[in-house]
Amino acid sequence: MASFCRGLLVGAYFDTILKPLNLTVQTVRYRFKLIDLPKPGSGRSFRRIVHFPEKYTVKPLDVTNLAGRDPETGRVVAKGIGGGIKHKYHWVDWKRDGPKEPPPALEEVIEVIDDGCRTGKVALVASGKRLKYILATANMKAGDILKTSRHIPRIPVRASEGDAYPLGALQAGTQVCSVEKYAGTGGFYVHAAGTFATILRHIGDRTIVQLPSKKEFSLSKECMAVVGRVSNIEHSKTPIGSAQRLRWLGYRPRSGLWQRKTGRFGRKIRPLPPVRVIGDPPPKPRPPVVLSLHY
């Protein structure tokens, strides 16, 4: 009732005093700049930016730590990232390229070191005068000789741990890691510490591979894979031990409002999805056609 009476008084004041003065009421419009904030899980990293040079090098690369902020706007995007010990980033060469005819190429392992920017260890290997870092397997050590070949023989090869062969050259049941999605593009699947994929069967020119998520993928037989599982197997079983060590790893504490669900809520058991067939890589965009007038 009070608001209704107040509205009548304001209306009467406008009709008796302001209207005879021919005053117009102008509405002020405020313009806001809408910014689309990126979301975690969109493929962008908000932990660090690695400055890659044009040419491959084994020297540690320069890193810019973002602490969960967007590099352009500076706004906090991932609230669980921050702090942490400074680590050196080693450039891993994901392509294990070898000859298409026997014999295979040989590489020697110089040393196996820890890398703070990834869970698995990396190995420095030498082939001729070239040095490069690769993802180390579980039992890889200094002095090992690794074989790399793209040849697919009629009979499956007896590969050792750390060797790189096409999926079609390995027998069913082999544990592999750093599997290519498309032939010649470099290792795409199975990079985390202690993980491995299993070759289930060969069907024609395709190979069915089961990833650590228990999903099955149908890949080309020419896709390269490294025999063995990724190093640092005890990574997932190592307890953090203290909140301070979690801060050393670069994680900020949660708000305290979120709690994990217990068994009283139940769960849904769903069947695994069907085999996903990875076909040819998507075509590259064509260069633009520039027309000019010349006489």
Confidence of residue 7 (pLDDT cuts 50, 70, 90): very low
CA dist 179 and 181 (Å) reads 7
Q: Which domains does the chain have, with CATH numbers?
A: 90-233+273-277 (2.30.30.30)
Give the per-residue pLDDT at 268: 84
Closest CA to 126 of 141, 145, 113: 145
Structure tokens at 133: 């870092």
Give the per-residue pLDDT at 291: 87
The pLDDT tens digits for 62-106 are 999 999 998 888 888 888 898 889 889 999 999 999 999 989 999
Confidence of residue 33 (pLDDT cuts 50, 70, 90): low
Is residue 158 over pLDDT 60?
A: yes
Is residue 25 over pLDDT 50?
A: no
Give the per-residue pLDDT at 32: 58
Highest mean pLDDT among 15-19, 22-26, 274-278: 274-278
Least confident of 48-52, 71-75, 240-244: 71-75
Give the per-residue pLDDT at 24: 47
**Higher local confidence (pLDDT), 5 or 78:** 78
For residue 291, give the 3-state DSSP assignment. coil
Give the per-residue pLDDT at 149: 96
Is residue 18 over pLDDT 60?
A: no
Give the whole-number percent of the chain exceeding pLDDT 70. 86
Give the per-residue pLDDT at 275: 95
Query: How far, rounded to the nearest angstrom, does the alpha carbon of residue 91 sit from its chain's CA centroid?
Result: 15
CA dist 107 and 181 (Å) reads 24
Is residue 17 over pLDDT 70?
A: no
Structure tokens at 246: 């979690």
CA dist 260 and 159 (Å) reads 43
Q: Whole-number mean pLDDT of the chain?
A: 87
Closest CA to 179 of 118, 146, 222, 119: 222
**Higher local confidence (pLDDT), 223 or 16:** 223
**83 touches 243 (CB < 8 A):** no
Give the per-residue pLDDT at 40: 66
Which regions of 81-228 does DSSP assign to beta strands (E)? 105-113, 122-127, 130-135, 145-148, 164-166, 175-177, 179-180, 187-189, 197-203, 206-210, 216-220, 224-227
Give the per-residue pLDDT at 16: 55
Give the per-residue pLDDT at 290: 87
Least confident of 22-31, 155-164, 251-260: 22-31
